[in-house]
Amino acid sequence: MSNLIYLKKDPILMELDSSVDKDSTKKMLAFKFFNGDERLLDNYLKENTHEPVNNTYNKDLIEPKSQLEFSF
């Protein structure tokens, strides 16, 4: 049993990493866990060696084409 590996599953970091819009997620996490104080969230992220990533949702996406409909 000495070869067990414990994975760190922090719900704050997991939710932030899996999000698309980082800015909105940070605001939501600050509200959810830190009573709306984004400064406390930033301090928490710095202490847990989480590098801030500015991968906000890309708004320059291609417009989807309409779906073809088959007449039967």
Q: Per-residue pLDDT tens for 24-41? A: 999 999 999 999 999 999
In a domain, 69, yes or no: no
**Which tens digits make up the pLDDT trace of 44-57?**
988 886 455 555 55
In eight-state DSSP terms, residue 20 is S
Q: Which residue segment(s) compose the domain that 21 sits in? A: 11-47
In a domain, 5, yes or no: no
In a domain, 23, yes or no: yes
Binning the chain into helix, strand and coil, the percentages to the nearest 5 are: 40, 0, 60
In a domain, 34, yes or no: yes
In a domain, 38, yes or no: yes
Average pLDDT over residues 57-62: 63
In a domain, 30, yes or no: yes
Q: At what angle do helices 22-33 and 38-47 cross, to 10 degrees?
A: 100
Our count of domains for the chain comes to: 1
